[in-house]
Amino acid sequence: MECEFCHTPSRKDYLAQHIRTKCANGVAKLLLKEWAEGMAVTPLKQYLDARPIQNIPIHSQLYDDVFYWFGVEPRVFDDEDEGWSKYTDNEENRKAHEAFLRECLSHLSVLDLIDVQRAVHIKSAEHTDLQRKYMALKKEVEEDKKETREELEARDLHIQRLTRELDDMRETMESSETIGELRQRLHQAEVMKASYGHRLEEVTSTLARIESEHDRQINDIYEAHRTRRQESEELYNKLFQQHQALKKENERLQLSIKKEAQKMLDKQEKERQKEKEKARKAKEKLKEEIALAKMKARRSTPKKKKKHVSSSSESSSDSDSSSDSSSDSD
């Protein structure tokens, strides 16, 4: 199999050991990526929620239905392999897996968590355990209340029955029964009523004791986690302030970059205008030189023609003189 983090080929039975030894940083990036994608259940979210370690495997993104456990001897499992449950039942494997998770999380910074922009709710294992106990105790209290209500309803029904019996006794006072028998029945009813009244007091006392114990445990839980909540709130405020400061610094840098870019554009425009003006002046100077050259050329051209005519005249005179000389000689 190929390591999905550094692409190093490895045997399947050694792949997880290779990842734990060489690629903890890659695993950390994988955990952050899954959490950033907003998945409801990810190893990072489960760990922050203090879920049991045996429920937090690390799933592969390269191989379908494959997940890793980094116990004492790291292993690769797939969905068809049921041996992982026995593997995670071992306390040492759970501790080693949790230690590797913490090592991976140490590669993540506070800025990584801020960039994800997802709410962070950190819970401790103690908090989760206390909350579970609280819910169990609350359920027990509700059951006790239900049982108490049922007993009170039964008591009321019994009192109503006794009341009816008393009414019947009043109606039969003039019957053939003796006053002694009626008094005896009335005494029995009063004894029974007193017994139920005593039972009612016991139930009321038990309910009050349960509610008092419940309130005490709630207060203990609240006090035990008040400091942790304050620390979490302080950390959140600190991270929020850092985020705001980074945001302001980023805006300042963006504005500064825009200003510098504008300055460079203005400077380039000025240089371009200077070059354009320089080229214009050079062009005008060239035109002036060309015009001056043409003017000089026009001035010099007639003089040359006149000189050429004069030369021709002189040549003709010379020719005539030569002719005359020849004649004289003859």
Contact of 195 with 157, CB cutoff 8 Å:
no
Distances (CA, A) of 224 to 127, 136, 227, 231: 9, 19, 7, 13
Would you tell me the crossing angle of helices 125-171 and 179-329 to the nearest 10 degrees? 150
Query: CA-CA distance, 105 to 137, in Å (whole number)?
Result: 35
Distances (CA, A) of 69 to 108, 243, 274: 20, 35, 71
Query: CA-CA distance, 212 to 200, in Å (whole number)?
Result: 18
Q: Which amino acid is at 28?
A: A
Query: CA-CA distance, 111 to 317, in Å (whole number)?
Result: 111
Q: What is the pLDDT of residues 279-292, one digit of tens each?
A: 888 888 888 888 88
Minimal CA–CA distance to 220: which of 130, 141, 138, 144?
130
Mean pLDDT of the chain: 77
Contact of 162 with 118, CB cutoff 8 Å:
no
The length of the chain in residues reads 330
Please give the structure tokens belonging to residue 133: 């106990």
pLDDT score, position 120: 54
Domain ranges for the chain, please list them.
12-116, 125-222
The pLDDT confidence band at residue 316, using thresholds 50, 70 and 90, is: very low
What percentage of the chain carries pLDDT values higher than 90? Answer: 0
Residue 314 has pLDDT above 50, yes or no: no
pLDDT score, position 320: 47
Average pLDDT over every residue of 59-64 = 84
Count of CB atoms situated within 10 Å of the CB of 143: 10
- The 8-class DSSP code of residue 82 comes to T
pLDDT score, position 111: 67
Residue 273 has pLDDT above 50, yes or no: yes
Residue 302 has pLDDT above 70, yes or no: no
